[in-house]
Amino acid sequence: MNEQEMFWTNSFGDRYRQNNEKFDDDLQVKAWGKMLNSIMHDKPNTILECGSNIGRNLMTLKRLLPSVKVSLIEINKESFNLAVKNVSPEHSFNGTILQSDFKNNSFDLTYTSGVLIHIPPYDLYKNMAKIYNYSDKYILIAEYFARDMESKIYHGQINKLFKMDFGGFFMDNFSVNIVDYGFLWGREYDAGGFDDITWWLFKKKN
């Protein structure tokens, strides 16, 4: 496990989990309704979150899509245990995205939200490839945007948060079409846990 991954398994990951418990449920539903609006005619029946924390996003998706079956990957052990308790996933894995071993094309929708920003650039393609391969149809990425790669100080730590055009990088490296994209302005969505997040929704090419 590299330094970046260890960062999320230790006490900082525990503090991050505690912050994740405070978000506004209705704002989360509104945000996810916006991000998935373009495919609500083709609602996903199976969803995998890569980096679930305690499962707040998946709890929201179960409100929005009551019949959906959810699965998750989470690196922090305590957060993983809470997520499993909170959402009763069909499949679950405690570890990194790269360590996970689900079957390819297993989920109608795979996604990350605020996860890729914490992956070192040299590991980004390999993580995206896992997310792409696990999806049978749709992939959603919701992360901080910058035109060029930027490394930002994160809670006093260096090389723990990166901003870039994740959507452009994904399109350039994988066989997908863009379905929709947008911006969750922190002025409206901070309380829902989406602080100035840019999101991209893709569909795999046949």
Query: pTM, whole model, 2 decimals?
Result: 0.88
Q: Is residue 17 within 8 Å of residue 48, measured between CB atoms?
A: no
What CATH number is attached to the domain comprising 29? 3.40.50.150
Where residue 158 falls among pLDDT bands split at 50, 70, 90? low
The whole domain housing 194 covers 3-204
Interatomic CA distance for residues 158 and 28, integer angstroms: 29
Rounded mean pLDDT, 32-60: 97
Distances (CA, A) of 73 to 5, 84, 93, 134: 13, 10, 5, 12
> How many domains would you assign to the chain?
1
| Beta-bridge mates of residue 154 | 157
Helix (H, G, I), strand (E, B) or coil at 49: strand
Bridge partner residues of 70 (DSSP): 47
pLDDT in tens, 122-157: 999 999 999 999 999 999 999 999 999 787 656 656
**Phi, psi torsion values for 181, nearest 5 degrees:** -155, 160
Half-sphere exposure of 52 (CA within 13 A, CB side): 34
- Span of 99-103, 179-183, 194-198 with lowest mean pLDDT: 194-198
State the residue for tokens 């969803």.
47
- Residue 13: the pLDDT is 47
